[in-house]
Structure 1
Amino acid sequence: MHEESFPEVQGGGSLILAWQIRNKRVLVVAAGRILHVLNADAKVTVVSPREGLNPEVAYRIEKGQVDYIDRKFEPSDLDNVDMVLTAVDDPDASTQIWKLCKERKVPANIADVPPECDFYFGSVHRDGPLQIMVSTNGKGPRMANIIRRSIVENLPPNAGEAISKVGRLREMLRKVAPAPEEGPKRMAWMVKVSDAYSLEDFCEMDEEDMKMLLTFYAPDEVPQLSSLKKQRDKS
């Protein structure tokens, strides 16, 4: 075994994940990144005196997008909670919430206090199913925004739509070849399809094109899109 064939460990990072929190219960104290968790289909409860609400939080409450408790945080608010986000001006109060979360093993993000965060939000770009996050591990949020904008400027404008089409094709393929033993072949064929077609090709595809393409799964072939459309027109 050659050591030089393995990447060097670089400590001090964080594990960047796409955390599925659909229907998870998220407690937001005072204010916070409400839109991030709403976009992830979480069940959000806001605890804050009404005079402490920022305009966006007040709007979300008015529209019924979150549950609302008009008072200061109480320890009982942590009952049956899966995640906590806080943005409280009082450092002592923030630390107390953090300690309670640690006792109950509830992951928490204490705004602007990196040592009291189990996770960071980073700077996020969203285009349909495509999500890109740049994290500085809490050290430079402004720099994360600058780097994220630079990345987005170089992304194709139709990337999100193309990914949606790929996702739809994968769903259809699982219906054509549902058996577990087909898994490796399904994966290998989708790799071929992803390599053979451009983002523009995927965006151009409709449901009938995908149905025709799936007829090439059994022989393990991937025709060019122009050839696929010609065959579709003949059928």
Structure 2
Amino acid sequence: MKPQFPAVQGGGSLILAWQVRNRHVLVIGGGEVAAGRILAVLNADAKVTLISPSTNLNPEVRHRIASGAVTYIDREFQPSDLDPSLPTPPTNDTSSPSPAQPVDMVLCAIDSPTASTEIYKLCHRLRIPANIADVPPECDFYFGSVHRDGPLQIMVSTNGNGPKMAALVRRRIAGSLPGNTGAAIRKVGELRRRLRGVAPGNGGEVGAKRMRWMSKVCESWSLEDLCDMVEEDMDLLLAYYKDGMVPSLEQIRLKEEPGVYTFDGSFGWM
């Protein structure tokens, strides 16, 4: 029989979790869209420089500047902000220098289509990934509609076709999740970190065994149990890792010895 494989569906985008911690992100524009972009990259621990005349700043952007969350340059964007080899227009204002370090990403949210296109072309030539707000053909990546609950992030993307629809779908998904999902994931993350201490090493059979055991924990424990788990519970649970067993929270709190079980078939250990 011929094997069945997933069909290719072209026209999508590769959705990734882009790590921009300590990367330098340049935001051009100071309106409502820019405010959303700034918050998104600050949440990802990026270093943000904002270029925009002070007359164009919305209240949220002003707050980010006042709190010191972003480095602010009060003027219009200049090509030399990205390429120091290009000439800088003459000015008597020495209080607004160019960004102090190379730029890793550009987020443009200005009203001028012509200027936006020129910025995108410059980024493309310099191989700097860029997003030009509301112009999908001039975006190396898109911002989706994101649900955030602690370590949990869910992004819905329409690939530039309908941002409002993405928000509607995201709200529907978020509404279907239990309120303690993020807390349960945080506990699972701590358990995984402790497991690496018990079974160190990367890849191979060690990594595969860790993954199988963590899968058993996530599948057999409820969200309520994961949220209720404390450090002592984690240490007791990890004692069962060697034998590949996953007892219930109730059982580990009874402090049953690993390898000695009163098994009634209800916990799906095997």
TM (norm. structure 1) is: 0.95
1:219 Cα deviation (Å)? Answer: 1.5
1:184 Cα deviation (Å)? Answer: 1.6
Q: C-alpha offsets along residues 3-33 of structure 1, whole Å, 9 cap, x if unaligned?
A: 6x11111111111111111011100001321
Whether the 8 Å contact between 1:27 and 1:78 is mirrored in structure 2 is: no
**Which of 74, 77, 81 in structure 1 is aligned with 2:78?**
74
C-alpha distance in structure 1 between counterparts of 2:232 and 2:80, whole Å? 54
Aligned to 1:65: 69
Aligned to 1:35: 39
The gaps in structure 1 that reach 5 residues or longer are none
C-alpha distance in structure 2 between counterparts of 1:177 and 1:165, whole Å? 18
Q: Which moved more, 1:24-33 or 1:162-171?
A: 24-33
**Which of 136, 140, 146 in structure 2 is aligned with 1:114?**
136
Q: Counterpart amino acid of 1:137?
A: N
Aligned to 2:255, the other structure's residue is in SS state helix
C-alpha distance in structure 2 between counterparts of 1:112 and 1:106, whole Å? 19
C-alpha distance in structure 2 between counterparts of 1:184 and 1:124, whole Å? 31
Q: Counterpart amino acid of 1:97?
A: I
The gaps in structure 2 that reach 5 residues or longer are 84-101, 257-270
TM (norm. structure 2) is: 0.83
List aligned pairs for 1:10-25, cutoff 5 A. 10-25=9-24
Percent identity, aligned pairs only, is 64
- The yes-or-no answer on 1:51 pairing with 2:55 is yes
- The yes-or-no answer on 1:104 pairing with 2:126 is yes
Q: Counterpart amino acid of 1:147?
A: V
Aligned to 2:110, the other structure's residue is in SS state coil
CA RMSD of aligned residues (A): 1.2
Q: C-alpha offsets along residues 41-66 of structure 1, whole Å, 9 cap, x if unaligned?
A: 00000001111111111110010000
In terms of Rg, which structure is larger?
A: 2
Give the structure with the higher percent helix.
1
C-alpha distance in structure 2 between counterparts of 1:211 and 1:172, whole Å? 8
- Aligned pair count? 231
C-alpha distance in structure 2 between counterparts of 1:179 and 1:97, whole Å? 45
C-alpha distance in structure 2 between counterparts of 1:209 and 1:78, whole Å? 52
Aligned to 1:171: 193
- The yes-or-no answer on 1:227 pairing with 2:251 is yes
